[in-house]
Structures are given as C-alpha cells and as structure tokens.
Amino acid sequence: MPPLIREAPIYRWPALQAQTVRVECALRAGLSLSDYGTFTLTVRQDPEWPRSGPARPAVDAANPRSDGWSISTSSVGAIDASATNPTVVFTVTVPAAPGYRRYALDVVASGGIAGRVQLVDSTWLTVIPTLLA
C-alpha cells in the first residue's frame, strides 16, 4: 500500500522564510475558482518526529488531518485573476524548527457552491535551517 503522505514533489523550505506558493487548480467541469469560498494551505507537524525504530514504518499509514497533527502554520489564499490557468496564491511563514520530513502540507478549497475539495494532497515538507532560525 502506498504511503498516505506523498513523497513528491519534494518541498524544502528555509525556516522562518515568507514562502509564496502558487497552486494551479484542476477544477470540475463548469466550475471556476470563484465557486469556492476559501482556499487554505496548512502545514502540520509530525508529533513523532524524528521517527525511528518501530515508529518508522508507521509513517506510511500516517494521516496528518485524521491523526490530529498540530497545525504549525496556515494561510488563506487569494485567486490570481491574471493567471492563464486557475491559480491560487498563498504567502505562508515557514515553521522555525528545521527537520527532514518533519511536516506535511496540504491545500483545501471549501465553502461556496462547490463544497470541499482537496487541491494538494498531503505532501512531505522538509524545513532546512537558516541564519534566521
């Protein structure tokens, strides 16, 4: 069974950086971004990081939302009306504590007439140390 948290694309962001994230969206037929209410990018921290020994294989079954991982940071996005394809832009401050695959991020659209849709599946995020941290 494949892991519930995607391995790719690889996200490596410097600690405490203000990160701008652009998400191109594949929408259901007949819908536009304005049919959704809110777009949220959420970064959650693995409570068992760093995983080793018996906890290491359990990471494949980890589900950050259902397992109650604490939210490290989140951002509400804005529609980029000038983009060719439906795009949402987020600005998020990267968590301060670095670590390889310490966090997972996802992007969800919710509300409006379209309802809830996951735009980016849970994906590993590695935070690298910086002089700012």
What residues are paired with 12 via a beta bridge?
126
Give the structural domain span for 21: 17-49+65-127
SS in 3 state form for 12-49?
Answer: EEECCCEEEEEEECCCCCCCCHHHCCEEEEEEEECCCC
Residue 20 is predicted with a pLDDT of 97
Residue 70 is predicted with a pLDDT of 97
pLDDT, one tens digit per residue, over 4-53 is 999 999 999 999 999 999 999 988 889 999 999 999 999 999 999 998 88
Q: Is residue 12 one of the residues assigned to a domain?
A: no
pTM: 0.91
Q: Is residue 5 one of the residues assigned to a domain?
A: no
Domain count, the chain: 1
pLDDT at 133 over 80: no
Distance CA 43, CA 34 (A): 24
